[in-house]
């Protein structure tokens, strides 16, 4: 009998083992079968899979292998959505959906009025893959027209650059291949505590997020921030530094069916280093990240 934990790696492993004829037991200290991995059910639950949603994207600049893996997984997510629609009745809540992958798109707002290097690299790779028509650049008239004809025009938002700086609007790219996945579809770094051999491949860090709840009776906000009207949005607060590293960005999600809007900041992160057990294959100064 094989025993695994219920993070994304554990559940994926459980399914793979079961398909191969193994008897599998999923165990954990938390009752995820009852709380559904929802972050507001218990403050003490810290697993990475405990969250409302995660960004899905295939935009990785020159990292073509990431793009290919993401697009391959996108097909799998869409197939899973179709399976769920056929195997389960529609949710009672009209605003809810059984889709695990929500194809709301992602608007990548630039730090200036011009495309950054990462965006140029991403667009070039999308073109090589024959997918340039899925990307809509705000300043490109042909892209705006194509976005409107395909029903994406309302999500190609424009943001004016504040007075006192350069004139115009921030450049942006709307990626119609992107969107969000519902949890528990996040990575699980706690797996290293059971299998230290994963220490080289997994690490975790904490960012800063704020969650707001929209009142369902406020129809204007409820509709404005729905996945049908609002994309995942990211804005880089500054261009990449001389080493090609991002120095921080803000991101926001469409509301959930419960009205939750998550806004986060990616910059300097909290990293929880702890002494690593003896014999751990990979450490940083005899410590690892939990």
The β-bridge relationship of strands 172-175 and 24-26 is unpaired
pLDDT at 161: 86
Q: pLDDT of 67-122, one tens digit each?
A: 999 999 999 989 988 998 888 887 777 666 778 899 999 999 998 899 988 899 99
Cis peptide before 65 (omega within 30 of 0): no
Residue 185's pLDDT band (cuts 50, 70, 90): very low
On whether both 111 and 169 belong to a single domain, the answer is yes
Is there a single domain that holds both residue 158 and residue 214?
A: yes
196 in a structural domain:
no
The verdict on residue 11 lying in a domain is yes
Q: Is 7 in the same domain as 144?
A: no
What is the SS3 assignment for 213? strand
- Rounded-to-integer distance, Cα 129 and Cα 117, Å: 19
Both 30 and 100 in one domain: the answer is: no
Q: What angle do CA 216, 222, 227 make, to 5 degrees?
A: 125
Q: Is 200 inside a domain boundary?
A: no
Both structure tokens of 153: 């025009």
Residue 186 clears pLDDT 50, i.e. is over it: no
Q: Which two tokens stand for residue 255?
A: 């509301």
Looking at the chain, the whole-number percentage of residues with pLDDT higher than 90 is 39
Q: According to the model, what pLDDT value does residue 47 have?
A: 62
Q: 0.85 cut: is pTM over it?
A: no
Q: Which stretches within 42-140 are classed as H helix?
A: 64-87, 117-128
pLDDT band at 288 (very low <50, low <70, confident <90, very high): low
19 and 120 housed in the same domain = no
Band (43; pLDDT cuts 50, 70, 90): low
What tokens does 22 get?
A: 């193994």
The number of folded domains in the chain is 2
Q: Cβ neighbours of residue 66 under 8 Å, at least 6 residues apart?
A: 58, 60
The rounded distance, in Å, linking the Cα atoms of 204 and 188 is 8
- Domain of residue 41: give its range: 1-48
Mean pLDDT in the chain? Answer: 81
Least confident of 139-148, 155-164, 243-252: 243-252
């Amino acid at each position: 009998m094989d025993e695994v934990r219920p993070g994304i790696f554990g559940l994926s492993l459980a399914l793979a083992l079961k398909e191969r004829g193994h008897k599998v037991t999923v165990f954990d200290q938390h009752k995820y079968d009852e709380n559904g991995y929802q972050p507001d059910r218990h403050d003490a639950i810290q697993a990475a899979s405990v969250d409302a949603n995660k960004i899905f994207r295939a935009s990785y600049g020159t990292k073509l292998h990431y793009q290919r893996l993401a697009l391959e997984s996108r097909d799998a997510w869409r197939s899973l959505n179709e399976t769920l629609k056929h195997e389960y009745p529609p949710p009672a809540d009209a605003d809810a959906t059984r889709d695990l992958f929500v194809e709301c798109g992602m608007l990548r707002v630039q730090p200036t009025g011009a495309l950054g290097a990462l965006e140029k690299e991403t667009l070039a790779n999308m073109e090589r893959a024959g997918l340039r028509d899925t990307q809509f650049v705000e300043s490109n008239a042909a892209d705006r027209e194509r976005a409107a004809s395909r029903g994406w025009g309302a999500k190609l938002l424009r943001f004016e650059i504040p007075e006192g700086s350069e004139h115009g609007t921030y450049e942006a790219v709307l990626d119609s291949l992107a969107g969000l996945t519902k949890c528990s579809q996040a990575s699980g770094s706690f797996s290293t505590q059971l299998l230290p051999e994963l220490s080289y491949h997994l690490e975790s860090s904490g960012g800063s997020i704020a969650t707001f709840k929209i009142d369902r009776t406020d129809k204007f906000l409820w509709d404005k921030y729905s996945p049908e009207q609002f994309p995942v949005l990211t804005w880089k607060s500054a261009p990449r530094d001389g080493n090609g590293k991002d120095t921080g960005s803000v991101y926001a999600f469409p509301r959930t069916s419960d009205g939750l809007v998550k806004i986060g900041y990616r910059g300097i992160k909290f990293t929880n280093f702890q002494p690593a057990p003896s014999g751990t294959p990979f450490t940083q100064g005899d410590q690892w990240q939990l």
